Amino acid sequence: IKIALQEFHVKKAIGVDNNKEKIQQAKKLAEENDLKDGKFLCEDVVTAKIDDATAILFWFTDIEIIEKMKKRFGNLHDGCRIVTIWGPLPECLPAQVDFPYIINQVPFKHADLKEQLLAIFGIKCIDFVTAWEYAERYTKAVAPHNVENDRFLTILQSLIIWINAKNLGITCGDDIPIPIKNYMEILKKFFGIEVEHLLNDTNLKF
């Protein structure tokens, strides 16, 4: 609600969630931050009234909800902005990117995963430095500041970014960068998390 009012300058911002505790907490925070034009509804987002929306901040990760809402978003008036975090709506080309925030705009333009990734990063190939930079932006945007937790989340997200890029054939170079190898080993040794199996190319040397 704060982002909608202060960053997108909407006249009226409405928050929807079916969790009563979250709604109460949001109302309290809105009062503390003097967000007078913010309103909160305890409803199911899938059936909530959104016909007159000009900007929607949509941060759900449930695939079923995303698919249902994408159909509803497609029927909104031209120019309506759907703001997602980390990635765009499925099969949609981002209209604007301020990572980790992604702006999808009605009418949607179709894009495959490779086109989406290139649009988000704005470059022809992705190396470790790029993966780390964007992972760090995501961590700073969504996580409460904690040095140890921040570093762990950034490592994990940077590996996910690089692996996705590798599987799509848009990494810089054929080999696995040394930092990527090192962080894969760290996750496996100290946290019991293996990510090597996510790579499509089983012939890569570690």
User: pLDDT, tens digit, for every residue of 50-104?
Assistant: 888 888 888 888 889 999 999 989 888 999 889 898 889 999 999 999 888 899 9
pLDDT at position 36, please? 80
Q: What is the mean pLDDT of residues 160-186?
A: 92
Distance of alpha carbon 38 from alpha carbon 25, whole angstroms: 13
Class of domain 2-120: alpha beta
List where CATH 3.40.50.150 sits in the chain.
Answer: 2-120
Q: What is the mean pLDDT of residues 107-114?
A: 92
pLDDT at position 100, please? 84
Tell me the pLDDT tens digit for each residue of 117-164: 889 888 889 999 999 999 998 888 776 677 778 889 999 999 999 999
Tell me phi and psi for residue 42, to 5 degrees.
-90, 85
**Averaged confidence pLDDT in the chain:** 87
